[in-house]
Amino acid sequence: MSFRDDVVELKNAYFGTEYQFIEVSRVISVDNASETFSPRLYSILGDACSQVENLLRLLCGKLEIPIADNEKNFPSYYSKLNETGILERQFVDLLISNHAYKPFSIPQNRDSPLWWTAYNKTKHDLPAGYKQGNLGNTIQALAAAYSLHCISAYVLDYGRNVLKNDWWNELDGTSLNTQSEFPTVAERPTNTFLPKSKIFFCLSYFQDLSLGAHI
């Protein structure tokens, strides 16, 4: 299968996972404490983390970033793809709350985000590990997966140019339509078709500066 086909299949799976989170959020509000956990959130967290790792793998392959056989893991995929800093600057707005996230932000002296480490270290330690399936970790993991789907869309159009950090920008805010069931936002200044999430909006966007500034 091609990169495009693989991404489409993963995108369909992502929206299934996002729908599950929307259903859970009707019972467990996203405005609850970030430590609020449940087995259902843990399951969603696991699905999102699997998406993230596989999207990173596919992006490295598409962008011809070499990964040794003994380095096929999240930290290696992340460090290779983030060599120019494009991952850590990804900024995602949660439309059903008043929060925005940088899901690929990594604390100093660590090689993975806290949400990834929390899930990865506890997936073989159930039921105690269920506590890592909390709102904070789950939202961050979903935001990471969604941002990678957006990056994948840009890669299909612009290839390795997407790795150019200075061709990335961030919106200062979103224009919300709060009259609908799920708030919507104005389109970003780009011609690339991006996946439409009901709960996320990527404030980070790519511009092809070789074509001049977008209006």
- Convert the pLDDT of each residue in 46-100 to its tens digit: 999 999 999 999 999 999 999 988 888 999 999 999 999 999 999 999 999 989 9
61 found inside a domain? yes
164 found inside a domain? yes
Q: Please say if the pLDDT value at position 206 is more than 50.
A: yes
DSSP 182: S
pLDDT on residue 214:
46
Q: Please say if the pLDDT value at position 215 is more than 50.
A: no
pLDDT on residue 191:
63
Q: What is the mean pLDDT of residues 5-22?
A: 97
pLDDT > 70 fraction of the chain, expressed in percent and rounded:
88
214 found inside a domain? no
Q: Please say if the pLDDT value at position 173 is more than 70.
A: no
60 found inside a domain? yes
Q: pLDDT tens digits, residue range 87-144? A: 999 999 999 998 999 999 998 888 899 999 999 888 888 888 889 999 999 999 999 9
Residues in CB range of 10: below 8 A, 6 or more apart: 51, 54, 55, 58, 149
Q: For residue 42, what are the domain limits?
A: 3-207
Tokens 């989170």 belong to which residue? 21
Which of 139, 109, 161 shows the shortest CA–CA distance to 36? 139
Tokens encoding 122: 């506890």
Q: Is the peptide bond before 127 cis (omega within 30 degrees of 0)?
A: yes
What is the side-by-side order of every strand in the sheet holding 200-202?
99-101, 92-94, 200-202
Q: How far apart are CA 84 and CA 70, in angstroms?
A: 23
166 found inside a domain? yes
213 found inside a domain? no
Tokens encoding 129: 């590990």
Which of 171, 135, 136 shows the shortest CA–CA distance to 150? 171
Quote the pTM value: 0.91
Supply the mean pLDDT for the chain.
89
pLDDT-wise least confident of 124-128, 180-184, 207-211: 180-184
82 found inside a domain? yes
Domain count, the chain: 1
Q: DSSP E strands: which ranges in the chain?
A: 92-94, 99-101, 168-170, 200-202, 204-206
155 found inside a domain? yes
